Amino acid sequence: MRHFLDLSLASSDDLRAILELAAAMKAARDGAPRGTPDAAQPLAGRMVALIFEKPSTRTRVSFDVGVRQMGGETLVLSGGEMQLGHGETIADTARVLSRYVDLIMIRTFEETTLTELAENSSVPVINGLTNEYHPCQILADIYTYIEQRGSIQGKTVAWIGDSNNVCNTWLQAAEVLDFNMHVSTPPGYEVDPARAGLRGTAHYRQFADPLEAVRGADLVTTDVWTSMGFEAENDERRKAFADWCVDAQMMALAAPDALFMHCLPAHRGEEVAAEVIDGPQSVVWDEAENRLHVQKAVMALLMQDR
């Protein structure tokens, strides 16, 4: 891999290599204090730029900690500090940063910002999130499922709620890693196959009724009803999504050993009931931790030949 931008651009071998390395890196740190360096130091002497046009908790902390554990240093930049694409073109910014740092992670709004940055960068670029995709999150989710239940191949994942960037990336992952997606959204919020970057519909079914979407599912997952950048639609979305709250009744229709995931932050009482996210089927805290291990594996593999 030259860059890590969205899952449709990766092969199944690429993704399995990331997942396997993440498991090995997590096992190697078993019981170690958070500030302890890894025994292997694949980023020793390396500088990583972390660019945030969108605010973040998990992405910022997990990338920063991961780089430090692997021996590197971070330079954290906000969109306001850089005026990305305003005071200087994105292409020129990419060329300049490539002379200063060894790796770039960007969390931004527009997919075009990410792609233009990658096209003009001579160092690897990682997608920390765009309006369209969130590949680091979904690989962490898949890693968490494998850790808890084994192979995800042939399993069924039920997505309940907004067809946002997280949903799009789940759909991409299903095509690459051969599992099934059941998606249920309110009318008017259905998946746009072109926006999701889908190649076909063999791994995906749309359901009008969320209860039917979760029936027999191995994993049930959701996200906030209003993503960053869509706050003006918040009141309208609360009304439209009222029947798409993942509650105990919904989870009871999934497989008996089904897991519940949420990429966080969560709004209890909206997209998920407290009894579900805080209940025995929820693995959201493992999921959040595994962002660290998966992202470390992505960075290590991108840098291994440099």
- Of 157, 141, 100, give the one whose Cα is nearest residue 123: 100
Q: Is there a single domain that holds both residue 113 and residue 232?
A: no
Per-residue model confidence (pLDDT) at position 65: 98
The rounded mean pLDDT for the chain is 95
User: Pick the residue with more confidence: 196 or 285?
Assistant: 285
Q: Is there a single domain that holds both residue 91 and residue 227?
A: no
Q: In this predicted model, what pLDDT tens digit does every residue of 103-155 receive, in sequence order?
A: 999 999 999 999 999 999 999 999 999 999 999 999 999 999 999 999 999 99
Run of H or E residues at 193: helix 193-196
Q: Which structural domain range is residue 58 located in?
A: 7-134+288-303
Active site residue 238: no
**Choosing from 3, 182, 237, 291, which is the catalytic residue?**
291
Amino acid at position 159, single letter: W
What pairing do the DSSP bridges indicate for beta strands 103-107 and 73-78? unpaired
Per-residue model confidence (pLDDT) at position 196: 86
**Residue 1 lies inside a defined structural domain of this protein:** no
Q: For the chain, how many structural domains are there in total? A: 2
What pairing do the DSSP bridges indicate for beta strands 47-52 and 103-107? parallel
- Residues 269-294, mean pLDDT to the nearest whole number: 98
Cβ proximity of 82 and 107 under 8 Å: no
Give the integer Cα–Cα distance in Å for 273 and 268. Answer: 5
Active site residue 263: yes
Q: Is there a single domain that holds both residue 122 and residue 97?
A: yes
Run of H or E residues at 50: strand 47-52
Q: Is there a single domain that holds both residue 255 and residue 196?
A: yes
User: HEC string of 286-298?
Assistant: HHHHHHHHHHHHH
DSSP 204-253: EEEESSHHHHHTT-SEEEE--SS-TT-GGGHHHHHHHTTT--B-HHHHTT
**Choosing from 223, 262, 293, 295, which is the catalytic residue?**
223
State yes or no: pLDDT of 3 exceeds 90: yes
Run of H or E residues at 301: helix 284-303
DSSP 129-191: E-SS--HHHHHHHHHHHHHHHS--TT-EEEEES---HHHHHHHHHHHHHT-EEEEE--TT---
Per-residue model confidence (pLDDT) at position 254: 98
**Residue 193 lies inside a defined structural domain of this protein:** yes
Per-residue model confidence (pLDDT) at position 47: 98
Give the integer Cα–Cα distance in Å for 42 and 139. Answer: 20
Q: Is there a single domain that holds both residue 262 and residue 205?
A: yes
**Residue 130 lies inside a defined structural domain of this protein:** yes
Q: Is there a single domain that holds both residue 149 and residue 248?
A: yes
CATH of the domain at 257: 3.40.50.1370
**Choosing from 3, 46, 134, 293, which is the catalytic residue?**
134
Active site residue 136: no
Active site residue 267: no
Active site residue 235: no
Burial environment of residue 74 by CB neighbours within 10 A (0 to 12, 13 to 18, 19 or more): buried
Per-residue model confidence (pLDDT) at position 10: 93
- Of 146, 108, 101, 142, give the one whose Cα is nearest residue 124: 101
Per-residue model confidence (pLDDT) at position 280: 98
Q: Is there a single domain that holds both residue 53 and residue 80?
A: yes
Active site residue 223: yes
Q: In this predicted model, what pLDDT tens digit does every residue of 174-229 receive, in sequence order?
A: 999 999 999 999 999 999 988 888 888 899 999 999 999 999 999 999 999 988 77
Q: Is there a single domain that holds both residue 187 and residue 101?
A: no
- Residues 10-20, mean pLDDT to the nearest whole number: 97
Share of the chain above pLDDT 70, in %: 100
Give the integer Cα–Cα distance in Å for 129 and 111. Answer: 9
Q: Is there a single domain that holds both residue 148 and residue 241?
A: yes
**Residue 2 lies inside a defined structural domain of this protein:** no
Run of H or E residues at 113: helix 111-119
Per-residue model confidence (pLDDT) at position 231: 84
State yes or no: pLDDT of 289 exceeds 90: yes
174 phi/psi in degrees, rounded to 5 = -60, -40
Q: Is there a single domain that holds both residue 297 and residue 275?
A: no
State yes or no: pLDDT of 85 exceeds 80: no
Give the integer Cα–Cα distance in Å for 68 and 77. Answer: 17
